[in-house]
Amino acid sequence: MLTARTVARETISYEEVAEPVLEQGRALVRIHHVTLCGTDLHIWEDDYPAELPVVQGHEFSGVVEAIGHNAAGIRTGDRVAVSPMTYCGTCRPCLQGRFNVCRNISCIGCYSDGALVEVLSVPVDKLCPVPEGLALELAAMAEPASIAMQAVNRGRPAAGETALVLGSGPIGLLATLYLTDLGVDVVCADTEADRLELARAFGAVDTLLVDPAACFPDAEQAARLGRLTEGYGPGLVLEATGAPSSLENAIRLVAGAGRIVQVGISARSATVSMKDIPFKELDLLGSRNSLNLIPGGLALLARHPDQARALMTHRFGFADLQQAYELMRSRTEKVGKILIEMPAALGSGTGPETAFAGAPA
C-alpha cells in the first residue's frame, strides 16, 4: 500500500509499504478522508514537538476492513471516525478523569504514524461509528468538533446567557454551533468579515469586526455588547485565536464572576492584569483535546451538515499533499478546512470526484 511520510521540513516521501496485519483488539481501517489543521502545517514545517519522520493525519474517517474481537458491535464494512488520542490511564490526570491532559499523552498522526496511508491499524476502542446520513468526508471533522465541544463544556454554559467567541476559525465556528444548540446567545468577533458572515450561519446573534490597529470594541460595538448582556458583559468568553491581545480582551470584557476558556494555542506571552482576575473573581480555564467527545462531534456534524460542509474550502487528492500544505502556508487564499481525498474515496464513489488539485469543496 502507499503511505505519505513527512521525512524532513516541508518534505513528503511517498513509500510503498506492506499493509498492516490484523491483531487482537485492533481493527484495520481503509482511510477515505483526512482533513488538515494548523497542527498538521506546523508538523510539516518541523515546528512542532513531534519527531520526524512521521505519517501525519489525525482527523480522518474510513471504512472498517477487518476487525479483531470487540464488544462494541462494530463490524466489517462499518463507516467510522477514529479518536486519535491515546493515554496511559495510570498518571494522576488520568486517575482524576482528565486523561485529555495525560502526562504520557500521544496522538495518532502527530506523535505516531497516522492516517495519510491507505490502511491503518487502530485500537478497536478508538472506533466511532458514523451516524447514518452523515457524509464520510464530513465525519473526518469529528476531531475538531470534539475540541470545540470540550472548550464549550469547560465553560459551563447556561441556556439563555450570552457568550463571546473570539476567533471564527474552524474551532470558534464549531464552538458557536454547539453553544447555539445549547441555547446560548453567541456573539462572534474576528478580524475578517467573511469569517463573521459564516459565523452568522453557524448561529451567532451578532458579530464584531476587530480592527487590529484600533481599540476593541469600539464605542458602537461596546454598546451592542452591553445591550445583549444588560451592561454586565458576557458571562462566558471562549478565546480561540491564540493571540495574546485576544486573551487580554477576554479578561477585560468578561462579566464579573464570569468564565474564560483559553482554547487557542500559542507560544507567545500575554500581559495579564493582576487586578482584573481577582477583582472580577474570574474562572480562567484551559482546554485541550477532549474527553472522548468524538461521538458527540459526529452527532453535532450530523445535525448541521450544511454548516459542516461550509467549513471545507479546498480538496486535494492524496498525491497532492505538498500543494495542500503550501496553500495553507501561503495564505494567498481564504482557507478553512482542507480535505484530502484518499484513493479509497475516489475509487468507491463515497466522495465526489475532484476535477483538479485544489478544487473548491
275-309: pLDDT as tens digits: 999 999 999 999 999 999 999 999 999 999 999 99
Measured CA to CA, the distance from residue 353 to residue 345 in angstroms comes to 9
Does some domain include residue 94? Answer: yes
DSSP states along 30-83: EEEEEEE-HHHHHHHTT-SSSPSSB----EEEEEEEEE-S-SS---TT-EEEE-
What is the per-residue pLDDT for 307?
A: 98
- Min mean pLDDT across 85-89, 137-141, 214-218, 330-334 is at 330-334
Q: What is the pTM of this model?
A: 0.94
What is the per-residue pLDDT for 337?
A: 96
pLDDT digits 0-9 by tens, 35-44: 999 999 999 9
Cβ pair 64, 76 in contact under 8 A? yes
Degrees to nearest 5, angle at CA 125 with 122 and 127: 65
- How far CA 197 is from CA of 61, 178, 202, 339, in Å, comes to 29, 17, 9, 22
Does some domain include residue 337? Answer: yes
Higher pLDDT, 355 or 266: 266
- My answer on whether 185 and 274 are in the same domain is yes
Cis peptide before 170 (omega within 30 of 0): no
Q: Which range of residues forms the domain containing residue 6?
A: 2-129+304-360
- My answer on whether 353 and 277 are in the same domain is no
What is the per-residue pLDDT for 350?
A: 40
Q: Is 80 exceeded by the pLDDT of residue 72? A: no
What is the per-residue pLDDT for 349?
A: 39
Q: How many other C-beta atoms can be found within 10 angstroms of the C-beta atom of residue 41? A: 20
Cβ pair 108, 55 in contact under 8 A? no
CATH code of the domain covering residue 166: 3.40.50.720
Please give the average per-residue pLDDT across 200-211, as a whole number: 98
Q: Which of 165, 177, 220, 181 is nearest to 202 (CA)?
A: 177
Degrees to nearest 5, angle at CA 306 with 301 and 312: 80
Please give the average per-residue pLDDT across 135-161, as a whole number: 98
Q: How confident is the model at residue 125 (pLDDT cuts 50, 70, 90)?
A: very high
What is the per-residue pLDDT for 115?
A: 98
pLDDT digits 0-9 by tens, 217-275: 999 999 999 999 999 999 999 999 999 999 999 999 999 999 999 999 998 999 998 99
- My answer on whether 112 and 171 are in the same domain is no
The identity of residue 82, as a single letter, is V
- My answer on whether 212 and 326 are in the same domain is no
- My answer on whether 41 and 103 are in the same domain is yes
- My answer on whether 240 and 346 are in the same domain is no
DSSP states along 249-266: HHHHHSPTT-EEEE----
Q: Is 60 exceeded by the pLDDT of residue 359? A: no
Does some domain include residue 296? Answer: no
Does some domain include residue 134? Answer: no
Q: How many other C-beta atoms can be found within 10 angstroms of the C-beta atom of residue 69? A: 8
- My answer on whether 68 and 39 are in the same domain is yes
Residue tagged 462531534 (cell numbers): 297
Average pLDDT in the chain: 94
| Percentage of residues of the chain with pLDDT beyond 70 | 96
What is the per-residue pLDDT for 71?
A: 66
- For the chain, the domain total comes to 2
